[in-house]
Structure 1
């Protein structure tokens, strides 16, 4: 492999700084994690967005969360396992192997994937309509929810509402997985939908009975 390059110098320096401080101060804990394996209580599906820092929001340590990240924190509907599907595989592992008690879908403000979906639905992003567009075909998961926000005139509010719908559609799709539905039914797994405002540090939780989000 001739294309892989050495790590940038600033990352090397950060690694050595971490190894000499955080790791050294908690070496016993890291070694215990390595030997005992992982036993997270919750899985979190969040966006790839670099501004969404799941462990910081909840003050979590290593080993607490099983985290999967993808564009716009979307979960597709259940499909045959013959399809390569990283998100479905992560859910399968979390529920059936790790036996997590909680599965959290975390959406966020200013989501680029959601804005791309809006642009696509409004005919402003023909490149996302192309069959070979990975982003476009992934955002097709959210596309049916656009009708619920199409009439919102305020563009910022429209985006925020569709961001919240990424959480709703993902929760709906989770229940199409037979093993998830079974675990929810026997109360060994609970599903949670959250949306966070990056700039304000706010966190909202989805209430399925009322069909809306409320501040935590």
Structure 2
């Protein structure tokens, strides 16, 4: 058997603490989840290792259905051939789990949003930044006025791009017929949020005003 790496050893130590601590303490909770899950909220968040939704919201297993990707993006509805990971997860959460809320949560110091802002990776081959560039390309329209006003570097520009990305994803969510129908029927609520790594503050989007305010 191959010797475990330092990284794997660290993870296994954490697993053993989990088994001896949280898992044992919430044994009944885990047992109740053996037959399925009934989360009421879906959170679409960034893959960034610093922004774990379960930790930020201090929830128990089974409470939130989470999808994470670069920059917490939702692509628009489309049926062209391809692998539609976010769309599949959204469909499962809304149509089968019947979640009541979908939250898009962006965050501070987001590398994906910075890539969209600077466009430094644009034109690169897949494996050298091309996959990232193709993914954040959906932010181009939102990016242009931000770059014109703030430039492409600095926290003011970065935060503006992060918050704009949340709005883009909310708009794209509403291109999915089943999402739009459930929202119009009052069966589903869409929310935007931004978590600041620097101060740990969560801000919620007021869509009527177009601004974020501390929760």
TM-score (norm 1): 0.90
1: CA distance, partners of 2:28 / 2:34? 10
Q: What does residue 189 of structure 1 align with? A: 188
Point out the more displaced range, 25-34 or 43-52: 25-34
2:33 aligned with 1:33: yes
SS in structure 2 of the partner of residue 39 of structure 1: coil
Q: What does residue 208 of structure 1 align with? A: 207
1:64-75 mapped onto 2 (5 Å cutoff):
64-75=63-74
Q: CA deviation at 1:10?
A: 2.2
SS in structure 1 of the partner of residue 59 of structure 2: coil
Point out the more displaced range, 196-205 or 89-98: 196-205
Off by >3 Å, runs of 4+ in structure 1 = 4-7
Q: What does residue 46 of structure 1 align with? A: 45
1: CA distance, partners of 2:38 / 2:17? 28
1:100-111 mapped onto 2 (5 Å cutoff):
100-111=99-110
> Where does structure 1 lack aligned partners over 5 or more consecutive residues?
none
TM-score (norm 2): 0.91
1:1-216 mapped onto 2 (5 Å cutoff):
8-35=8-35, 37-80=36-79, 82-120=81-119, 125=120, 127-130=121-124, 132=126, 133-150=130-147, 151-153=149-151, 155-216=154-215
The total of aligned residue pairs comes to: 207
> Where does structure 2 lack aligned partners over 5 or more consecutive residues?
none
User: Is this contact kept in 2: 1:207–1:213, CA < 8 A?
Assistant: yes
